[in-house]
A and B are shown apart, each in its own frame.
Chain A
Amino acid sequence: MSFQDIITNQQKLVQVMTGKMIEEALEDDNHRYLLHYLFQGPLTVEELKIAFKQSGNEKSDKTIYRYLNKLKKAGLVIEAGKRIYTDKDNQIKTQTLFARIAKVIFTPFNKADRDPNLKKKSLKITSLILKEKLGQKGNADLNCLQNKIDNLVYSKQELIASYFQDTDNSEIISLIQTMDIAELFPILDIASWILLLIEKPEIINQILDCF
């Protein structure tokens, strides 16, 4: 069966997404699996069904549509275009292609990422290290520290996302298109740190306000 994929809505490269709807959508493991399957590129419902089945997590058409609707509503998935093909009776048919809103989606305030105990522990360690290194006498206000760190992460991700929004450097774009998510995240993380240090160095000093 021969087919043509017509893409009318291009996915972005990097996008930062926050908000209650995003958090709720990402709480569901199946939503995260679906987003993961879409990482390689736009897929039809049939292809998503196969992906779920291959991971031993078979889902019905109806269920996958339900996931897609939720993710579309949260803005994490878009209708990217149509697959046009001819069936065995030579009739021309179409299937919708779904895609992630962006190849790399940052969700900086996503509670689903957090194991509360682990978060508390690492915050404590961070505050102690900073206290010693910065020569502070008193302990840090942990809530304040958490907020500053959250903002720092958000700013980093925003900087890299807006860089990709504005760039038309085809070399970078084509390199990113071919990379796996496991390779991309560390690279983007380093780049975003460097951007932060260049463009918003003051944000790091603001951590001192918590002591």
Chain B
Amino acid sequence: MNMKTQDVIINRERLLKTIYDLESAKCLQDDKNCQLLLSFLLEGPMTFEDIKNSFIEVQAEKSDKTIYGYLNKLKKADLVMETGKRIITFSESQIKTLTLYSRTAKVFYIAIDIKKEIRETYFELIGKLLCQILDYTDFDRDCFKKLYDDFIQSKRNDVQRINEIENSDIVELIASNDVRGTKFVIDTYMFFAFIAENQNIAQEFNKCFKKKS
């Protein structure tokens, strides 16, 4: 009897996941081995053996213990998950199962939440900078805050909309970039999406900032 293999997926990877915590962000941005392992999983779910062979293929062979270390780190950061099982049927009296790992999402977008107190300070600074460079005397903090909060909310909505894209080609393209590239693409998209959907933004802005007469 020939060996038969069947992959059974229980937990599907999402299209996009927003990363809010620092540890996961560090893993994505700075840890080369985490990035390498995540890139292997871009093609689809893999068993431990598949991952081990992938490291060998890129001339970066690692021990079993090391790879399990990476997997645990990535699982803790919620970047990798156990997605299902590979069932290998050797015969009528021997069936083996192997765990399949996958990314938790095809695309990871880093959006670290800034602490409230620090945000207030930045906000004050941004207002002052705008006044200085664009020649305004002062700005209405409540008015500008509302504008700013609308911008943040629309950013969150825009990120969610990426999750709903059905065109898998675009998702693949976004996912194929490194995490910094992905962040640049998504941030820039969100910026222009905000402008496109708030055509009277200049008017709103002028309500908050007093021009020098």
Q: Is A172 an interface residue (CB 8 A)?
A: no
- A8→B2 CA distance, assembly (Å): 12
Known contacts: A6-B87, A9-B92, A72-B93. The answer to whether A92 contacts B10 by CB under 8 A is: yes
- A9→B87 CA distance, assembly (Å): 12
B95→A96 contact, CB < 8 A: yes
A4→B95 contact, CB < 8 A: no
Within 66-95 of A, Cβ neighbours of B (below 8 Å) are at 72, 78-79, 81-82, 84, 86, 91-92, 94
Contacts of A96 in B (CB 8 A): 95
**A8: which of B11, B82, B87, B93 is its contact (CB, 8 Å)?**
B87
A6→B92 contact, CB < 8 A: no
B93→A94 contact, CB < 8 A: no
Chain A residues engaging chain B, CB cutoff 8 angstroms: 4, 6, 8-9, 72, 78-79, 81-82, 84, 86, 91-92, 94, 96, 101
A8→B8 contact, CB < 8 A: no
Q: Is B160 an interface residue (CB 8 A)?
A: no
Contacts of A72 in B (CB 8 A): 93
Prevailing SS type, chain A contact patch: strand
Known contacts: A8-B4, A94-B85. The answer to whether A82 contacts B93 by CB under 8 A is: no
A9→B85 contact, CB < 8 A: no
Contacts of B99 in A (CB 8 A): 92
A82→B92 contact, CB < 8 A: no
B84→A81 contact, CB < 8 A: no
**A9: which of B10, B82, B89, B97 is its contact (CB, 8 Å)?**
B89
Known contacts: A81-B87, A91-B82. The answer to whether A6 contacts B8 by CB under 8 A is: yes
Q: Shortest beta-carbon distance, B10 to chain A, in Å?
A: 5
- A43→B20 CA distance, assembly (Å): 44
Q: Is B94 an interface residue (CB 8 A)?
A: yes
Of all chain A residues, which has the CB nearest B10? Answer: A92
A92→B93 contact, CB < 8 A: no
A9→B95 contact, CB < 8 A: yes
**B93: which of A78, A81, A84 is its contact (CB, 8 Å)?**
A78
Q: Shortest beta-carbon distance, B12 to chain A, in Å?
A: 13
What string of 1s and 0s marks CB contacts (under 8 Å) between B94-115 and chain A? 1101010000000000000000
Q: Is B59 an interface residue (CB 8 A)?
A: no
B94→A79 contact, CB < 8 A: yes
Of all chain B residues, which has the CB nearest A73? Answer: B93
**B92: which of A79, A91, A92 is its contact (CB, 8 Å)?**
A79
- A91→B99 CA distance, assembly (Å): 11
Contacts of B84 in A (CB 8 A): 84, 92
- A78→B90 CA distance, assembly (Å): 12
A86→B10 contact, CB < 8 A: yes
Q: Is B6 an interface residue (CB 8 A)?
A: yes
Contacts of B6 in A (CB 8 A): 6, 8
Of all chain B residues, which has the CB nearest A8? Answer: B89
- A91→B93 CA distance, assembly (Å): 26
A82→B10 contact, CB < 8 A: no
Known contacts: A6-B6, A81-B95, A82-B97. The answer to whether A92 contacts B82 by CB under 8 A is: yes
Q: Shortest beta-carbon distance, B94 to chain A, in Å?
A: 7
Contacts of A86 in B (CB 8 A): 10
B93→A79 contact, CB < 8 A: yes
Q: Shortest beta-carbon distance, A116 to chain B, in Å?
A: 34
Q: By CB atoms of chain A within 10 A, which of B10, B93, B95 has the most?
A: B95
Contacts of B85 in A (CB 8 A): 82, 84, 92, 94
Q: Shortest beta-carbon distance, A171 to chain B, in Å?
A: 27
**B97: which of A4, A91, A94 is its contact (CB, 8 Å)?**
A94
Of all chain A residues, which has the CB nearest B83? Answer: A92
Contacts of B95 in A (CB 8 A): 8-9, 79, 81-82, 96
- A84→B6 CA distance, assembly (Å): 12
Contacts of A6 in B (CB 8 A): 6, 8, 87
Contacts of A101 in B (CB 8 A): 92
**B87: which of A78, A82, A91, A92 is its contact (CB, 8 Å)?**
A82
